[in-house]
Amino acid sequence: MSEIDLETARKVAHLARIAVPEDNLPALAQELSQILTFMEELNEVDVEGVEPMTSVTPMRLKRRKDGVTDGDMQAKILSNAPDAREGFFAVPKVVE
């Protein structure tokens, strides 16, 4: 059985950019461990020489000219932003 310890749970939450209160980490670690244990059934399968699937239907990706096909929609793009100012998305200070 796979064991996710508190430190790993904390690290995964941070990588996923989800704030998890310290009190909730033990339960999270346990749940993640359960799910990973379930996934480990895959270790029974002989995958020697098998290619990992990249595309479920055998199709060539289409190509098109690398050109601008639309634009001029600043107002539309900003219309749903929680904070937009002077034509920009606004966020807290990034650089000190």
Would you tell me which residues interact with another protein (CB under 8 A)? 4, 8, 12-20, 28, 31-32, 34-36, 38-45, 47, 50-57, 59, 61-62, 64, 73, 76-77, 79-83, 89, 91-94
Tell me how far, at minimum, the Cβ of 36 lies from another protein, in Å. Answer: 7
Nearer to another protein, 6 or 81 (CB): 81
Tell me how far, at minimum, the Cβ of 68 lies from another protein, in Å. Answer: 15
Tell me how far, at minimum, the Cβ of 84 lies from another protein, in Å. Answer: 9
Nearer to another protein, 23 or 62 (CB): 62
For 4, other C-beta atoms within 10 Å of its C-beta total 20
d(CA 45, CA 72): 52
Tell me how far, at minimum, the Cβ of 26 lies from another protein, in Å. Answer: 14
The answer to whether 25 touches 4, Cβ cutoff 8 Å, is no
The answer to whether 29 touches 6, Cβ cutoff 8 Å, is yes
